[in-house]
């Protein structure tokens, strides 16, 4: 919805910004996959840490590039009608940057000595890893295609997934297992929940006006219902 504001003779600039957001999402997925494999697949944290951190630096650098591009665009065109687009892309870039940060958080669990590669619930943990990795890729595709209907479906699916993670976190924290068992899982599910919420925020740029952007990382009781 917001992106429809940006059409007037600036398509090449729009494509450049969207391409950079797609690049950020691709790097975020890579960082997430590498970090998750360090936690769940027995990859040596010392061997993959440089990859995770260098990828995060690329994500941050691309976000700065996007900010500069948008500032230059506004300075050159001086069009009030472009303000919603600028705000939308600023918000989207920040949400993708946060996904990179949560990938680092997952890596930090492995770097602190947590290894779940032989966990009894590895199939569950790995299935969520695969699901989130796929969602990052689908978000990039949906955003790049400006596929509004697919974005709406994603938001509905994502909201259910947020509830699912809340349930997993509650179950983990209330179990009789020792903290060495529960804490890593609670944190893992928490980070997956936050990544999902930020992916949902990215797609609000396709479905909502600028005043409704980026609020899926809020608790449900703190946000308005989805618009019809």
Question: What is the pLDDT at residue 77?
Answer: 64
Q: What is the dihedral sign for C-alpha 178, 180, 186, 188?
A: negative
Mapped onto helix, strand or coil, the DSSP state of residue 144 is helix
Percent over 90 (pLDDT), the chain? 71
What number does CATH give the domain 10-222?
Answer: 1.20.58.220
Question: What is the pLDDT at residue 112?
Answer: 97
Q: Which of 30-44, 72-86, 132-146, 171-185 has the lowest mean pLDDT?
A: 72-86
Distance (Å, whole) CA 7 – CA 5: 6
List the domain boundaries for the chain.
10-222
Q: Is-above-0.85 flag for pTM?
A: yes
Distance (Å, whole) CA 150 – CA 215: 19
Distance (Å, whole) CA 218 – CA 214: 9
Per the model's pLDDT, the better-predicted residue between 22 and 2 turns out to be 22
Distance (Å, whole) CA 11 – CA 78: 16
Identify the CA nearest to 34 among candidates 60, 20, 55: 55
For residue 206, name the pLDDT band (cuts at 50, 70, 90): confident
Distance (Å, whole) CA 63 – CA 89: 10
Percent over 70 (pLDDT), the chain? 83
Count of residues making up the chain: 228
For residue 6, name the pLDDT band (cuts at 50, 70, 90): very low
What are 136-186's pLDDT values in tens digits?
999 999 999 989 999 999 999 999 999 999 999 999 999 999 999 999 999
**Contact at 8 Å (CB) between 50 and 161?**
no
Identify the CA nearest to 2 among candidates 83, 69, 75, 93: 83
CB neighbours of residue 54 within 10 Å: 11
Arithmetic mean of pLDDT over the chain: 88
């Amino acid at each position: 919805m917001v992106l429809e504001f940006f059409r007037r003779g600036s398509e090449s600039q729009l494509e450049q910004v969207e391409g950079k957001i797609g690049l950020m999402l691709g790097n975020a997925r890579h960082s997430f996959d590498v970090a998750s494999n360090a936690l769940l697949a027995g990859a040596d944290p010392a061997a993959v840490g440089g990859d995770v951190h260098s990828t995060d630096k690329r994500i941050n650098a691309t976000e700065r590039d996007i900010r500069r591009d948008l500032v230059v665009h506004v300075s050159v065109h001086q069009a009030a009608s472009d303000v919603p687009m600028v705000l939308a892309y600023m918000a989207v870039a920040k949400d993708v940057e946060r996904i990179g940060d949560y990938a680092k958080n997952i890596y930090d669990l492995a770097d602190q000595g947590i290894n779940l590669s032989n966990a009894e619930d590895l199939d569950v943990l790995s299935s969520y890893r695969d699901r989130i990795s796929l969602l990052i890729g689908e978000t990039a595709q949906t955003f790049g295609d400006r596929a509004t209907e697919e974005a709406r479906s994603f938001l509905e699916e994502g909201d259910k997934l947020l509830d699912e993670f809340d349930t997993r976190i509650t179950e983990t924290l209330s179990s009789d297992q020792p903290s060495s068992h529960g804490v890593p899982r609670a944190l893992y599910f928490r980070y997956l929940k936050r990544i999902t919420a930020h992916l949902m925020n990215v797609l609000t740029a396709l479905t909502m006006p600028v005043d409704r952007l980026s609020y899926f990382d809020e608790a449900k009781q703190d946000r308005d219902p989805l618009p019809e």
